Amino acid sequence: MSTTMSTSSTSSLEPLFAFLSYSLATAESAFYRLPGSAVIVRYVKSSHQNDPGRTLLELILIIFAIRTLLQSRTRTDKQQKHFIEFNEKEIDELVADWNPEPLTQPLSAEDQADIACVPIISGPTGPKPRLVVPNSPSPSKPVINLATYNPTGLAGSEYLKSRAISTLRKYGLGSCGPTGFYGMIDVHLELEKAIAGFLGADAAILYAQALSTVASVIPAFCKRGDLVLADRHASFAIRKGLEISRATVRWYEHNDLASLEEVMMGIERDERRRARRRGCLSSLTRMLGLTHKRMQAKYIVTEGIFERDGAMVDLPKLVELKNKYKYRLILDESMSFGTVGRTGRGLTELYNVPATKVDMIVGSVANALGTGGGFCAGAEAVVAHQRINAPASVFSASLPALLAVAATEAINILSASPSILESLHENARAARAALDKIDGIEIPSHPASAVIHVCLKPSFWGWREPATDEGTPTLSSPGLLHPSSASALVPPALSKSTSSKSTSSKSGHSLPSYSSSVSPTSQVYPPPSAEQIAFEESILQEIADEALGQGVLVVRARRLRGQEVNEPRASLKLCVSGGQAATGAYGGEPGGGGLSKKEIEKACSVLKSAIGKVASRRR
C-alpha cells in the first residue's frame, strides 16, 4: 500500500521535479557564465577532496557571517531573555488595561504654602526693594534686602544701566544663535578676556547660565572610566554634572582635606596593588605598544565657598594635595568669585594662589556681577576643549550682549575700586559679630563668606528624634560649629588636619583668623532626618515671616528635598551686600550701592528679635 502511495505521489510530483531540474540547470549555467566562477568551483572541489570536513566548516562560517551581517546592530528588548511574546489581541487588552499615574500629583498644603511664601519684588531689586503685597495694588514699604545676591552693590548702578542701554541699541537683545553659529559676539570675547585677566588665568569661556556651567564643565572633561573625588556636600549643580559624566565618583567628607588625602592614598594603594598583580607581562606588552589602555584621568571637584553652608575650602592645602597626587582641580567659585579677596577675584586672591595653579575655575557672572551667565577659566587647551565639548556651550544660545557688557563693566569697576570689597567685608564682619550673639542658632559659614547660612540648634528648639531611632545620638555639642568655639573644640580626629591647615595658611598668607574656623560639619552631625528638616524649615519660615513684618527680607535656603543626596541642613540664607563707596571714577551711583554697616546691624537686630519672638512662641 505504501508503494502505491509513493508511486502515485511521485507521478503527481513529476512536473515539479522537472521544473526543479530545469531551474537547477539554468542556475548552474548562469553561475558558470559569471567571470571567476570556475576558480570557486575548482577551489571547492579540491578542498572537498582533501578534507570534506573543511567544506562543512567553511559553509558554517559563511552562514554565520551572513547571520551576523543581517542581525540588527542595536539590541532591542526582543533579544533579551525576559521578552514575552504576546499576540495582537493580548497587546490590545494590555494597552486598554494600563492606567498610568497622573503626570503630577496635586500640590499638598505644605507645597502650596511653600509657593505662597516666595517673595515677589515689585520694581527694581537692590538693597531696599519693595515687595508685591498679595491682593493689593500698591507695593510694600521698602525692606532691607538680605535675600538676593548683590555683594558688590552693583544692582541698580546707573552707569551699568547706561552701558546696557547703549549695548541694546547696537546689538539688540538676544544673540539668536549658539556660539558656533554666529552667536559669538565680540562683547563675549571681551568679557572672556576680562574675566581671564581679572583672575590671572590664560583664558575663559562664557556660559549662558551659572547653574548649567559646572554641570556642563564636568561632563566635558570627566568621562566614563575617569576618577573624580568630590566633596560629600558639593552643590546640586556639581552633583548633576557628576551624574551625567558617568565617571567613577569617590566622595570625601565635607570640606575635610584630611579625608580627601585618605581617599587619595587609598586609591594610590589600590593602583599599586593592581599594577603588581598585573605583573610584568602586561607591562611588557604595554611597552611594546601591543595593548593600549587609556590612562585614567583624575579630578577633584569642590567648591571655593560651599553653596550649601558657606564653608570655605583651604585652597593652598588643596592645591598641594592635588599636585602631590597628580589630580586636576575643578574649583567652583560661584559663591566666592566677586565676594572674597581684596578686589573680589575670589579664593585665589584671598589665599594668594596663582589662578594658573587651579586647572578649572568655574564661577558665576550672575551672582557677583549682577548680570547673568557663568564662566570657566583655565589654560588655553582647557577652554578650547570646552568650546566644542561642553553641552551647555555647544547647544545653547549665547548670553545676551547687554548682559555681557554689563559684566565686563562690573569687572572694570571691581578692579578699579577695591573699596567696594572692603565695605563688603566690613559688612560681613559686622553681620557675623551681630549674629554670633544670637541664641539658638549656629552658623556653619566661614567668617569671610558674604553669604551667611543661619541654622538652628536643634536642641535649643526642642527637637527630639522620633522615638523609633533611639540609636542615633542626639546632638551632644551643638556649640561646636560656632566659629568662636571652633578653635577650642576641635574633635580629636580632626586635630591633625586642622593644625596642618592653620600652619599652611599661616605660613602663606597671614590669615590666622580664617584658618581656625574651617570646620567640617558632616563629621559632627549625622545627616538630618526628613522630619527634622521639616521641623526646622517651619521654624525658619516663621522667623523669615516675622523679620519681613519688621522690614527685613530674608529667605530660607531653598532645597529640592528628596532630590538632593545627603540632605543639607535647613538654613536661612543671608546675603550681605556692600559697595557703598562705589562712587568715584564712575560718577555718583543713585540707586546703586549696597547696604551700609548700620543697616546691616539693624537688620541683624531685627533678625535677633524675630528669632527671640519665634522662640518664645515655640518653647
Partner 1 sequence: MPYEPSPMAFRSSPSQSIFKKKSSQTLSPMTSATSYLSALSQADARARAASRSPTSTPALSLSSSVTGSSEDTVLDDTVMDNKDGLLLPVRPPTSEQVFDTVHTEFGHCGNEEFRYTSQHTPGEPVEGHVEKDPPYYILLSTYISYLILICIGHVRDFVGKRVHPARYRHLMPYNGYAPLTSDFDSFYTRRLKQRMDQCFSQPVTGVAGRTILCLDRYSPDYNHTQILTGGRTRALNISSYNYLGFAQGRGGCADAVEESIKRYGISTCGSRLEGGTCDLHTISEALVARFVGMEDALISSMGFATNSTFIPALVEKGCLVISDELNHASIRFGVRISGASVRMFKHNDMRSLEKLLREVISQGQPKTHRPWKKILLIVEGLYSMEGTLVNLPAIIELKKKYKFYLFVDEAHSIGALGPHGRGVHDYFHINPRSIDVLMGTFTKSFGAAGGYIAGNKALIDRLRLRGHSGAYAESMTPPVLTQVVASMASIMGVGLPSSIKPSSTAMTVCAANGEHYQHPGPAPPSMLPAWMALPPRLASGEEGWNRLRRLAFNSRYLALGLIKLGFITYGSPASPIVPLLLFNPGKMNMFHRLMKDRQTPIVVVVVAYPATALVTSRVRFCVSAAHTKEDIDTVLRACDEVGDILDLKHGIPKSERWTVDELVSRAVELVNAPQ
**Which one of 266, 462, 584, 591 is in contact with partner 1 (CB under 8 A)?**
591
Q: Which helix (H) or strand (E) element contains residue 230? A: strand 227-231
> 183 or 527: whose CB is closer to partner 1?
183
Contact 129, 563 (CB under 8 A): no
SS3 sequence of 289-329: CCCCCCCCCEEEEEECECCCCCCECCHHHHHHHHHHHCCEE
> Which 91-110 positions form the footprint of partner 1 (CB under 8 A)?
91, 94-95, 98-107
Query: Among residues 48, 58, 119, 602, which is the contact residue for partner 1, using CB under 8 A?
Result: 119
Q: Which stretch binds partner 1 (CB under 8 A): 27-35, 73-81, 459-467, 605-613?
A: 73-81
Sequence-distant (6+) residues with CB within 8 A of 99 are: none
Q: Which of 175/521 has CB closer to partner 1?
A: 175
Of 288 and 295, the one with the shorter C-beta distance to partner 1 is 295
Q: Which of residues 164-183 bind partner 1 (CB under 8 A)?
A: 164-166, 168-177, 179-183
- Residue 73: CB partners within 8 Å, gap ≥ 6? none
Determine if 236 is a binding residue for partner 1 (CB under 8 A).
Answer: yes
Q: Is 268 in the site for partner 1 (CB under 8 A)?
A: no
Query: How far is CA 420 from each of CA 144, 494, 580, 603, rounded to the nearest angstrom?
Result: 19, 36, 7, 20
Q: Shortest distance, CB of residue 382 to partner 1, whole angstroms? A: 7
Enter the C-alpha cell of residue 363: 564661577
Burial 101-139 (b: 16+ CB within 10 A, else e): eeeeeeeeeeeeebeeeebebeeebbbebbbeeeeeeee
Among residues 144, 150, 218, 497, the one that binds partner 1 under rule CB under 8 A: 150
| Residue 308 touches partner 1, criterion: CB under 8 A | no
Q: Which three cell numbers stand for residue 448?
A: 569671610
Q: CB of 98: closest distance to partner 1 in angstroms?
A: 5
Query: Judged by CB under 8 A, does residue 388 bind partner 1?
Result: yes
Per-residue contact track with partner 1, 550 to 579, x per CB under 8 A?
---x-x-xxxx--x---------x-x----
Nearer to partner 1, 313 or 554 (CB): 554
Q: Does 197 bind partner 1 (CB under 8 A)?
A: no
Residue 310 contacts partner 1 per CB under 8 A: no
Q: How far is CA 369 from CA 190, 332, 414, in A?
A: 15, 16, 9
Instruction: Determine the Cα–Cα distance for residues 158 and 582; give it in Å rounded to an integer.
Output: 12
Q: Which is nearer to partner 1, 48 or 385 (CB)?
A: 385
| Binder of partner 1 out of 205, 206, 215, 218 (CB under 8 A) | 215
Q: Output 154 or 480, the one with its CB closest to partner 1.
A: 154
Cross-strand partners of 303? 332
418 lines the binding site for partner 1 (CB under 8 A): no
Q: Applying CB under 8 A, does 385 fall inside the site for partner 1?
A: yes
Asked whether position 582 contacts partner 1 by CB under 8 A, the answer is no
Beta-strand relationship, 555-556 and 572-575? antiparallel
Gap between the Cα atoms of 456 and 435, Å rounded: 12
Window 320-359: contact mask with partner 1 (x via CB under 8 A): ------x-x-------------------------------
Bridge partner residues of 230 (DSSP): 251, 301
CA 371 distance to own-chain centroid: 20
- Please report how close the Cβ of residue 146 comes to partner 1 at its closest, in angstroms: 9
Nearest residue (CB) to partner 1, 226 versus 253: 226
**What count of residues does the chain have?**
619
Kindly give the residue spans of alpha helices, DSSP state H, lying in 34-74: 37-50, 52-70
Applying the rule CB under 8 A, the residues between 464 and 503 that interact with partner 1 are: none
Does position 73 interact with partner 1 (CB under 8 A)? The reply is: no
Q: Is 441 helix (H, G, I), strand (E, B) or coil?
A: strand
Binds partner 1 (CB under 8 A): choice among 352, 389, 484, 529: 389
Does 382 contact partner 1 by CB under 8 A?
yes
> Binding partner 1 by CB under 8 A: which of 274, 276, 294, 619?
294
Among 185, 311, 347, 421, binds partner 1 (CB under 8 A): 185
Span interacting with partner 1, options 402-410, 435-443, 466-474, 510-518, rule CB under 8 A = 402-410
E strand map for 460-528: none
Task: Answer for the pair 486, 246: CB distance below 8 angstroms, yes or no.
Answer: no
